[in-house]
């Protein structure tokens, strides 16, 4: 097998990684919708999806099936080719950008082939992500134009103008991090954040030296929410003004593709925020003897979550739930025990911390959506051009000054 792997590294290593990542990503997208509906519901004192499966856990599946079996209506006056191209463009671009995200340190070995965790490790990883997100505007703009209908056109115009404006601030806001890391390579950006102040406080870029990128992080966060067209910057689909914006005329799975693209870019942006400002896969605890127990947090987290699920599950309302939830809990417990094994626990450190941080950012995304009212369009444009862009340039200037000052 090892010889075969050495002869065909693409077939044995890269292709399975792509397939697995796609599977995980699409499942995560589906459950992100469930997560968002649950969190927003609880913010608004509701229960959210509850009927399809215990705690509505089968809701994403039901939604997916519904999208597949809906009638696919194409407007008669639509520009057919562009109308079909737009959702494909949106979804494929949004998914592609995950390919350069590193989920853990190097050191994954499959059949004797060393390979990075993540599909590829590019020297220009960050630039590739920006290139892909900058192409993402086409999906929205073309969808709005090709539907040949007034609300989609207005929505498409709005959101492409918004994405063009905020892309500048987004790109400029990470320049500080690039200057501090001295690289576009996402893995190197993460490894440049290793180390602890006084042995305890992690030197992540948010509080890194020579200049803490707090300003950069907030600029990045705001610009990223706007770039992904999410509330409070979701003017593209301001339903009180524009029906549903650029995807008004899309039905069935083509609509679902726009939806998946939006959630996928949410995940990408959360991954980027984690990598650029919060140390990526690095553990927040130093590797000293005092903190040796933190090495087992991933396994313990799975096991505890499983136990909680069992305890909660046996008292669930429906019989079906009383069967399914404890089984899920047992599976999680088993996963925890499996993760506790000596070889596995080292391997899982990076991905665990990385995904935990990404999950926190996704929660913040939903939290912001559930909390803040939508901006007015002129406020949005003013804010982007007159506040975010100058501040991000200012951030670049002071970061460069700080670097020059400390290197003298």
Partner 1 sequence: MITPQIAVFLVLAAVIVAGALSLILQRHPIHSALSLVVVMVALAGLYLLQGAEFVAAVQVIVYAGAIMVVFVFVIMLLNAGEEERANVSRWARFVGVPLGAVFLVEVAYWIGRATAHLDPAPAEAVSTRDLSTLLFREYVFPFELTSFLILIALLGALVLARREESN
Closest listed residue to residue 155, CA positions, set 259, 90, 236: 236
Helix (H) or strand (E) holding 239: helix 239-242
The minimum distance between CB 397 and partner 1, in angstroms, equals 15
Binding track, positions 184-203, relative to partner 1; x by CB under 8 A: x-------------------
- What b/e string do you get for 91-123 counting C-beta neighbours within 10 Å, with b at 16 or more? bebbbbbbbbbbbbbeebeeeeeebbbbbebbe
Residue 303 binds to partner 1 (criterion: CB under 8 A) = no
Residue 170 CA to residue 225 CA, distance in Å, equals 10
CB 282 within 8 A of CB 377: no
Residue 129 CA to residue 332 CA, distance in Å, equals 33
Q: Which C-beta is closer to partner 1: that of 128 or that of 272? A: 128
Q: Which C-beta is closer to partner 1: that of 127 or that of 356? A: 127
Residue range at the interface with partner 1 (CB under 8 A); choices 39-47, 138-146, 280-288, 367-375: 138-146
Among 137, 271, 282, 396, which residue interacts with partner 1 (rule: CB under 8 A)? Answer: 137
| DSSP per-residue letters across 37-102 | HHHHHHHTT---S-SSSGGGTTHHHHHHHHHHHS-----TTS-HHHHHHHHHHHHHHHHHGGGG--
Q: Which C-beta is closer to partner 1: that of 160 or that of 205? A: 160
- The torsion defined by the Cα of 28, 31, 36 and 38, in degrees rounded to 10, comes to -150
Residue 14 binds to partner 1 (criterion: CB under 8 A) = no
Residue 70 CA to residue 249 CA, distance in Å, equals 14
Residue 24 structure tokens: 């995980």
Residue 30 binds to partner 1 (criterion: CB under 8 A) = no
Q: Which C-beta is closer to partner 1: that of 61 or that of 393? A: 393
Among 35, 145, 258, 278, which residue interacts with partner 1 (rule: CB under 8 A)? Answer: 145
Residue range at the interface with partner 1 (CB under 8 A); choices 117-125, 209-217, 280-288, 295-303: 117-125
Among 141, 226, 238, 358, which residue interacts with partner 1 (rule: CB under 8 A)? Answer: 141
Residue 101 binds to partner 1 (criterion: CB under 8 A) = no
**Segment 34 to 63, residues that bind partner 1, using CB under 8 A:** none
Residue 238 CA to residue 207 CA, distance in Å, equals 36
3-class state of residue 218 by DSSP: helix
Closest listed residue to residue 9, CA positions, set 89, 120, 106, 169: 120
Among 96, 115, 160, 162, which residue interacts with partner 1 (rule: CB under 8 A)? Answer: 160
Among 164, 305, 356, 398, which residue interacts with partner 1 (rule: CB under 8 A)? Answer: 164
The minimum distance between CB 226 and partner 1, in angstroms, equals 16
The minimum distance between CB 247 and partner 1, in angstroms, equals 16
Q: Which C-beta is closer to partner 1: that of 248 or that of 283? A: 248
Among 124, 243, 300, 304, which residue interacts with partner 1 (rule: CB under 8 A)? Answer: 124
Helix axes 252-277, 15-43, angle to 10 degrees: 90
Q: 114: which strand partners? A: 109
Residue 360 CA to residue 284 CA, distance in Å, equals 14
Residue 255 binds to partner 1 (criterion: CB under 8 A) = no
Q: Which C-beta is closer to partner 1: that of 167 or that of 262? A: 167
Residue range at the interface with partner 1 (CB under 8 A); choices 136-144, 191-199, 297-305, 309-317: 136-144
CB 56 within 8 A of CB 48: yes
Residue range at the interface with partner 1 (CB under 8 A); choices 12-20, 44-52, 130-138, 236-244: 130-138
The minimum distance between CB 95 and partner 1, in angstroms, equals 17
Q: Under rule CB under 8 A, how many of the chain's residues touch partner 1? A: 26
Residue 381 binds to partner 1 (criterion: CB under 8 A) = no
Residue 235 CA to residue 380 CA, distance in Å, equals 9
The minimum distance between CB 123 and partner 1, in angstroms, equals 6
How far is the CA of 197 from the CAs of 166, 284, 301, in angstroms?
34, 12, 27
Residue 82 binds to partner 1 (criterion: CB under 8 A) = yes
Residue 161 binds to partner 1 (criterion: CB under 8 A) = yes
Give the binding site for partner 1 (CB under 8 A).
Answer: 79, 81-82, 122-124, 127-128, 130-131, 134-135, 137-138, 141-142, 144-145, 153, 156-157, 160-161, 164, 167, 184
């Amino acid at each position: 097998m090892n010889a075969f792997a050495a002869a065909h590294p693409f077939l044995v290593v890269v292709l399975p990684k792509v397939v697995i990542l796609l599977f995980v990503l699409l499942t995560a997208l589906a459950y992100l919708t469930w997560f968002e509906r649950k969190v927003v519901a609880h913010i608004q004192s509701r229960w959210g999806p509850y009927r399809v499966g215990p705690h509505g856990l089968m809701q994403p599946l039901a939604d997916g099936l519904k999208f597949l079996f809906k009638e696919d209506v194409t407007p008669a006056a639509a520009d057919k080719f562009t109308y079909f191209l737009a959702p494909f463009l949106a979804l494929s671009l949004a998914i592609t950008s995950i390919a350069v995200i590193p989920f853990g340190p190097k050191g994954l070995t499959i059949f004797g082939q060393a390979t990075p965790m993540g599909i590829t490790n590019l020297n220009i990883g960050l630039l590739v992500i920006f290139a892909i997100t900058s192409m993402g505007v086409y999906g929205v703009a073309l969808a709005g134009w090709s539907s040949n209908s007034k609300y989609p056109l207005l929505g498409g115009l709005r959101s492409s103008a918004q994405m063009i404006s905020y892309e500048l601030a987004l790109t400029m806001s990470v320049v500080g991090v690039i200057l501090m890391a001295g690289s576009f390579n996402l893995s190197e950006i993460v490894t440049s954040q290793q180390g602890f102040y006084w042995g305890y406080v992690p030197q992540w870029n948010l509080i890194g030296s020579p200049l803490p990128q707090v300003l950069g992080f907030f600029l990045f966060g705001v610009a990223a929410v706007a770039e992904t067209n999410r509330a409070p910057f979701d003017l593209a689909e301001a339903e009180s003004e524009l029906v549903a914006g650029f995807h008004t005329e899309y039905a069935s799975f083509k609509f679902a593709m726009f939806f998946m693209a939006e959630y996928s870019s949410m995940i990408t942006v959360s991954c980027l925020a984690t990598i650029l400002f919060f140390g990526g896969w690095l553990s927040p605890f130093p590797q000293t003897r005092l903190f040796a127990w933190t090495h087992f947090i991933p396994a313990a987290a799975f096991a505890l979550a499983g136990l909680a699920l069992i305890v909660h599950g046996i008292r669930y309302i429906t019989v079906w739930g009383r069967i399914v939830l404890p089984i899920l809990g047992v599976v999680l417990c088993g996963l925890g025990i499996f993760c506790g094994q000596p070889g596995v626990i080292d391997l899982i450190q990076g991905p665990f911390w990385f995904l935990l941080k990404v999950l926190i950012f996704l929660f913040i995304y939903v939290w912001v959506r559930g909390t803040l009212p939508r901006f007015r369009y002129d406020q949005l444009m003013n804010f982007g051009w007159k506040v975010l862009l100058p501040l991000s340039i200012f951030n670049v200037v002071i970061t460069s000054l700080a670097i020059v000052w400390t290197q003298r």
